[in-house]
Chains A and B, each alone.
Chain A
């Protein structure tokens, strides 16, 4: 049975923890709002990009003029996985969900005799995947120092991926990230980047007939690499929003649990104090009676 003093100490320490988790929740909520705003601000660009791309792809058609980034190498042997996770933990199952999806995907590919290469964006994914696939990780991108994710960060990753593709290092590239549905729901998602998956492109047929300057193929060749960076940028922004959402609900849970614990501890503290008072009273009364 812990003494009164022990109980008092424990209550104090749980209270301190509760204060911290509450503060973290509030910080996450503020960051979430900013992340959502950033994601919203970036939406017009990626939407326009999508429709422009659809228009051009139609004009160029799937013939030889289409760049290899779109048609792929025609092989399916080497897969590159770009796994985007958060830099920090304490956000529930957010990172492990993405990592699990990537891990299952990797296992499946390896079982089919494919070669897998992994690029980790974010520290947490690297920490998790390193345990199983240390030899497959060819690169990692650290965004720890980045306060606010800009297009330049995504562009850097995009260039890296395209550089590898041009050197013939892989055939298929898949991007892993967490789609931000709501504060409590983030869905780990795998999206094929190279070759551009068909459902990305096959929309909007009512477009006007365009003049292209210089010409459609040249623009397309320029547009596709940029589109890859845009996709990565979108994934990073969704990830930040998702991370903050997950952190917020995780910290909310922690705060509530701490509250419950404090209630329980306070109850047993009061009971014990009561018991001690009663005991002392009994001692006094029985002492007086003996006289």
Chain B
């Protein structure tokens, strides 16, 4: 006789199998993402220092905002939330993210439209265009640092020779141009990635819709605004979110290209500085926590405003 009591129904079996498949990922994510994040948030409420990682004591919100009344009756506010260096970094980060993602999207979409057309050697061009993205950031940052060098850089040399500049500019060192330099390099580096994501979206659009538009006699520009753009929008929104997440936590490029420049210091750079260089570990943790919160808010807002469907259901 069979023992039917031990047999699970199909649904339960499926659910159990799904759990077994998901478990390794959940454990891995917990170890490498959730735990460090929780530790960081915890540290931000203590007075932990780099030299005494396990000896920190709970001090509440003092790393964020602390009100202290001096004996003279004067009130002093301290903490990250009133730190001008922090707000400068926030402003730098947001400015960098918005400008770089905007240009990357525009250029990326343009390149994707070109690559979506059929021409000889398209496969090669598609592969070649990814090169800037494939080069490690450190390498491309160093490369650009040399190209932008005020005395020996090729960019200054060209600009001086063709008479646009009188003498070379210290692109990365000067407060006025540092951000521009960083933006140029980041846009150069990440546009290909954007182009590829856009191209994937464009290829989802059936060709015969364009043919129908051709027979309808729709002007190509109108086709772009009325057909291509609305249909590629879901893919574009996802691409922009990916890039925004990346841009808001930018660190390596700025750390290598314009170290210690007030004009380009971002949230990630400044929190690392506090965590490691200045040995204000808890203070840096508070800034990291804020960085996390800001990114989370940014993305939620974007998804909510754009009504992006990340679940992939009901598309097309």
Q: Do A and B come from one complex?
A: no
Binding site for B on A (CB under 8 A): none
